[in-house]
Amino acid sequence: MSALVVPLPEGLNHRALSMLRAVVAGRATISCSSEPDLFIDDVACCDQYMAHSLAHAGLIEPVATGAIGDLVPARLTEAGVAALAPAAA
């Protein structure tokens, strides 16, 4: 999966930070797709636009490749870890 790195249009709001924290906690899966959907606790995330933005900005990614539409665990990238770090301080 190639990562298209683009800035988030609105920055990291509370919802985006919560989504990143769910990924860190191991509660998130992501669909293998050019527009990856994020699922938290097996429920589709309420803001798929933000999920797409986090993926396209290179903050989250699937842990493994799969067929289009497969759900695999999500993980933070190094950029995602760095983006989350200031919020923890």
Express each pLDDT in 47-61 by its tens digit: 999 999 999 999 999
Cα–Cα distance measured from residue 57 to residue 42, given in angstroms and rounded to the nearest whole number? 23
Alpha-helix runs per DSSP H in 25-77? 48-56
Note whether residue 5 is domain-resident.
no
Average pLDDT, rounded, for the chain:
87
User: Which of the two residues, 40 and 9, has the higher pLDDT score?
Assistant: 40
Q: Which two tokens stand for residue 7?
A: 């800035």
Contacts (Cβ under 8 Å, ≥6 apart) of 31: 37, 38, 39, 69, 70, 71
Note whether residue 8 is domain-resident.
no
pLDDT for the residue numbered 49: 93
Q: Which domain holds residue 43?
A: 14-88
The three-class DSSP label of residue 12 is: coil
Note whether residue 7 is domain-resident.
no
Cα–Cα distance measured from residue 9 to residue 50, given in angstroms and rounded to the nearest whole number? 10
pTM confidence score: 0.83
Note whether residue 77 is domain-resident.
yes
